[in-house]
């Protein structure tokens, strides 16, 4: 299903489903638990729609593993997004549950399997990391877990996700999402609230967690022996014109949200300037991004301008390439977050969304991340309150105002090149 169909199904069918489940829940007796007695056997993490957000969830997972070392961690995601969980080593393969959204029938059948498997695993706590998707809220309730941590609206409009979330807190648009994920995990420690109305309940202190290196620093990708050397040799064989040149990677695609894309001409201007400085420039992306990459390569007309779309067959191969390259210049999206697992420096563009919430985490291998944000009056416009549907007319001034000169200033410094 395309994203607009998903939004429509979630908005209408999702709200009705959550209301029906809330009505069923209202007839169940309330059982007040005690935080000190809570020792979960299995915890399910629901993060269905985003790959990049799984990297931002790493501090939360590290916290859960320390706080509940005996609990099995289950992760529910779209099947196409599961590779990053494997690379991060969040859990065992048998505890990864896939949802298939290729069609409505596949969605329904895969949801049935996921809920059945979670109930069979005896999941007794769920952390629902979704901001507005009602399908995850329904999965959380139907899993049979006694404690459900998730975002609830309180008095905010547009976030109704049922009144059965009993370890709840309001979504906070002023705190970065990695911190809010930890807050969700900590909400499990409080005794579940028996009151059915959605209101903020978890007020446990966050002090100290944001700066705690145990939870903040990402574990880098564990390279296999000879893996990097083999990848570099393959690259040099396929693109000998780029040998002996520092490699800069550019991701110009907008993914499922094209409004997040920095202008094509800006990418071309930056690439041209870097080529003139003696760099090789590679455009990365999925096969669907190939027409854009070929257009840019054609504009540049330089032998060291490389079309690398579809060159890496999976995320692991992309990350190995990041170990070789010196700099990534990217739109807001997965690659900018994946880069934190490698030593590559990153420049990442924000506008429709804000780095205050979604800035990439720091790399433990020394890679610097520079989020660029112009801060126009209408920015950010994609939020949990509007299903990430922008009112923009397509003229994304918030990104156009980030100039190639600004980007080159950061790029020269990161690459050690003269301005």
Residue 55 · residue 338 · CB < 8 Å: yes
Asked whether residue 221 is assigned to any structural domain, the reply reads no
Q: Where are the alpha helices (DSSP H) in 126-212?
A: 134-142, 177-187
pLDDT band (50, 70, 90) for residue 59: confident
The DSSP letter of residue 383 is -
Query: Would you state the pLDDT for residue 53?
Result: 84
On whether both 207 and 264 belong to a single domain, the answer is no
Domain limit, last residue, from 153, 183, 216: 216
Asked whether residue 149 is assigned to any structural domain, the reply reads yes
On whether both 89 and 212 belong to a single domain, the answer is yes
Query: Would you state the pLDDT for residue 297?
Result: 96
355, β-bridge pairs: none
pLDDT tens-digit readout, 182-206: 889 988 886 665 443 334 455 555 5
Q: Which two tokens stand for residue 347?
A: 């420049």
On whether both 210 and 338 belong to a single domain, the answer is no
CA atoms within 13 A on the CB side of 145: 36
Mean pLDDT taken over the chain: 87
On whether both 14 and 160 belong to a single domain, the answer is yes
CA distances 320 to 46, 159, 237, 307, 317, Å, are: 28, 39, 16, 17, 5
pLDDT tens-digit readout, 9-47: 777 788 888 889 989 988 877 655 454 567 899 999 999
Query: Would you state the pLDDT for residue 195?
Result: 40
Asked whether residue 184 is assigned to any structural domain, the reply reads yes
Domain limit, last residue, from 165, 193, 216: 216
On whether both 202 and 248 belong to a single domain, the answer is no
On whether both 234 and 210 belong to a single domain, the answer is no
pLDDT exceeds 60 at position 287: yes
On whether both 299 and 400 belong to a single domain, the answer is yes
How many percent of the chain have pLDDT more than 70?
Answer: 89
How would you classify the pairing of strands 96-99 and 72-78?
A: parallel
C-alpha 88, offset from chain centre: 13
Q: Which residues of 221-243 are buried (b: 16+ CB within 10 A; e: fewer)?
A: beeeeeeeeebbeebeeebeebe
On whether both 248 and 117 belong to a single domain, the answer is no
pLDDT exceeds 80 at position 256: no
Q: Of 400, 231, 410, which is closest to residue 317 (Cα–Cα)? A: 231
pLDDT band (50, 70, 90) for residue 8: confident
Query: Would you state the pLDDT for residue 318?
Result: 96
The DSSP H or E segment spanning 331 is strand 327-331
Domain limit, last residue, from 216, 246, 261: 216
On whether both 248 and 191 belong to a single domain, the answer is no
Q: What is the pTM of this model?
A: 0.86
Query: Would you state the pLDDT for residue 98?
Result: 94
Question: Residue 27's CB: how many other CB atoms inside 10 A?
Answer: 6
Q: What is the average per-residue pLDDT within 58-64?
A: 90
DSSP per-residue string spanning 56-76: HTHHHHHHHHHH-TTSEEEEE
Q: Which domain holds residue 132?
A: 3-216
Q: Where are the alpha helices (DSSP H) in 239-354?
A: 264-276, 290-300, 315-324, 334-338
Query: Would you state the pLDDT for residue 330?
Result: 96
* Cα–Cα dist 282/409, whole Å: 19
pLDDT band (50, 70, 90) for residue 215: low
On whether both 184 and 306 belong to a single domain, the answer is no
CA atoms within 13 A on the CB side of 126: 29
Can you give the CATH number for the domain in which 111 is found?
3.40.50.2000
The count of structural domains within the chain is: 2
On whether both 130 and 232 belong to a single domain, the answer is no
Asked whether residue 45 is assigned to any structural domain, the reply reads yes
On whether both 66 and 181 belong to a single domain, the answer is yes
Q: Where are the beta strands (DSSP E) in 153-311?
A: 167-170, 247-251, 280-283, 305-307
pLDDT tens-digit readout, 67-93: 999 999 999 999 988 988 998 889 999
Asked whether residue 222 is assigned to any structural domain, the reply reads no
């Amino acid at each position: 299903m395309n994203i607009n169909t998903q939004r429509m199904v979630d908005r209408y069918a999702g709200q009705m489903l959550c209301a029906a489940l809330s009505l069923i829940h209202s007839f169940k007796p309330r059982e007040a638990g005690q935080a000190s007695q809570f020792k979960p056997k299995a915890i399910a993490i629901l993060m269905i729609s985003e790959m990049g957000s799984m990297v931002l969830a790493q501090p939360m997972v590290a916290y859960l593993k320390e706080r509940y070392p005996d609990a099995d961690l289950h992760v529910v995601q779209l099947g196409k997004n599961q590779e990053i969980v494997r690379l991060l080593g969040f859990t065992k393969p048998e505890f990864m549950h896939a949802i298939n959204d290729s069609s409505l029938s596949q969605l329904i059948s895969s949801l049935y399997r996921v809920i059945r498997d979670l109930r069979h695993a005896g999941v007794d706590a769920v952390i629902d990391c979704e901001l507005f998707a009602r399908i995850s809220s329904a999965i959380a309730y139907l899993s049979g877990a006694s404690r459900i941590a998730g975002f609830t609206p309180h008095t905010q409009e547009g976030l109704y996700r049922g009144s059965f979330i009993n370890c709840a807190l309001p979504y906070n648009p002023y705190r970065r999402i990695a911190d809010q994920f930890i807050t969700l995990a900590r909400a499990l420690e409080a005794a579940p609230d028996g009151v059915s109305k959605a209101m903020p309940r978890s007020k446990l202190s966050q002090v100290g967690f944001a700066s705690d290196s145990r939870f903040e620093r990402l574990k880098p990708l564990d390279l296999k022996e000879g893996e990097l050397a083999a990848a570099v040799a393959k690259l040099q064989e396929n693109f000998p014109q780029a040998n002996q040149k520092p490699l800069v990677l550019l991701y110009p695609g907008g993914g499922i949200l094209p409004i997040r894309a920095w202008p094509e001409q800006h990418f071309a201007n930056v690439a041209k300037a870097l080529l003139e400085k003696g760099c090789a420039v590679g455009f990365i992306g999925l096969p669907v991004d190939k027409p854009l990459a070929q257009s840019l390569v054609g504009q540049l007309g330089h032998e060291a301008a490389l079309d690398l779309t579809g060159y890496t067959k999976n995320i692991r191969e992309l990350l190995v390439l990041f170990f070789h390259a010196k700099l990534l210049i990217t739109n807001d999206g997965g690659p900018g977050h994946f880069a934190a697992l490698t030593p590559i420096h990153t420049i990442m563009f924000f506008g429709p969304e804000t780095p205050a919430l979604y800035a990439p985490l720091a790399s433990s291998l020394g890679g610097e991340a520079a989020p660029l944000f112009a801060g126009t009056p209408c920015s950010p416009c994609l939020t949990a309150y509007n299903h990430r549907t922008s009112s923009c007319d397509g003229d994304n001034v918030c990104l156009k105002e980030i100039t190639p000169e600004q980007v080159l200033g950061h790029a020269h410094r990161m690459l050690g090149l003269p301005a």
